[in-house]
Structure 1
């Protein structure tokens, strides 16, 4: 197994000719020259991520505080569990992203990973603002502890943490691909039962401020998906020998496990107890998303029988400014505002672009 090539913090003698500028194990001075990026899509994505700046406290949650007390017992329990889980996920991302960036030898991609790290911290802050706005100090402290103390969530969280820890302990090139996949699963699968729960509350006129916060977070997460999709595409071009049948089978198994975990989580946290949602519809939605995510990184979808989106109404919440962006095509419309990427704002049948 090939170890990742480490680089000096500053190497003025690095050969940065195009053939030596690689995502990993390349030559680099670590100087950012944003007018000379190897991957044209990276600058478009940079501008979008920077244009997505937002401040959680600008969203008023006064009505949410009143509505939180009026939620049903099941709605409030799901709200608490999901908020706690999402805080954990973004906290984990904030901590782990530098472990990935340490071995990236393209400065423009490191820049995007740094922006992502900031945004993950902002998301954790936004969840904290939500809790401070709707819950008492005592209840807020209890909610924070759910992700640590709840036996189901502790087991659930261990799966993705173990993949991150495996890379920290064994930093190989194949391990880099797997940690990219683990990040992709967290961003593209693990958030979505929770996001859907909040959007479902909002479409029923409940906790609309919280849903607005989630919408901005979702907007950021779509750019994070775009980043890792781009990294997968470029690494596959640069190092095709890494993506052999055995590794692709491992990546498929990782996706399958993540889907199973998210489906189990949806049944545990939401189940058939929330108006407008069911354990079965959530399971279909996660499989639908999985198919889309796999196709975008060049892997075969796992659930060929799932072709329809069971939650077409979600698109009303993830359609930002009516604009559409695909960072891997030449034309980008309204990229400074758009986050309805051709990867997350799903429309119609699976695979339709």
Structure 2
């Protein structure tokens, strides 16, 4: 187990170098002058433009810019935005907000998927199963921004259960409505995975053996069925967590959430290389670590899985 963890952590090194190099190159290759774009329709002097380009090393070759960035990373300095803020400070301010939103969304998706998927599998072909599949298809077909506006109108404005926007109130309590929207939007795929996994597990020999030995259903379902059926669900939820960290831009815009998505979108528009690369690098590392934890969790859920050389 320890050797497996060390080997997976060592894989972070080429992933880190490859991700930062590729993203930095893509930002470097983007057309346009980001410094000139800062002034809009105004025409600053050439001396001022050259001074700003030199300050951000934009007049240096690509490999030199990347060297400045990567050496700064090892010193704990992720660079400076074009507005003069430290990327470290921007990341420290926005990442916790998006992380809270992602955790809450995954928790809602995971809970709904386990309950509805398991009941649907146990009632295969009956009314509840058909209704759950239809509801899943509906939620899967509705774009997340439409679902967000509908939730705002009915749950926040009409019923008054939540605040319509988040803004500065971005603690755990203030993120419930966008978390519900994201969780429900992810629910359909996970529920169908859980349903199919439970149905497949119910037909396994060890489940029939457990029943033949006289074990009650209350023992067989949680220990022998659910435990082995969770693996596809956990894999899908781990993938969704990584997607939510970087891909909740639309939801953050709808609910005015000061998170990573909005910040990364604005940085892309302004061609802020250090901001984009630093954010993506942190996401890559978090994604690898989350998947490592998921791989280790497999061994707890299924005793047949062992991590050997």
- TM-score, normalised to structure 2, is 0.30
Q: Which structure has the larger Rg over C-alpha atoms? A: 2
Q: Quick check: which one's helix share is greater?
A: 2
- TM-score, normalised to structure 1, is 0.27
Highest relative contact order (Cα 8 Å, sep 6+), 1 or 2? 2
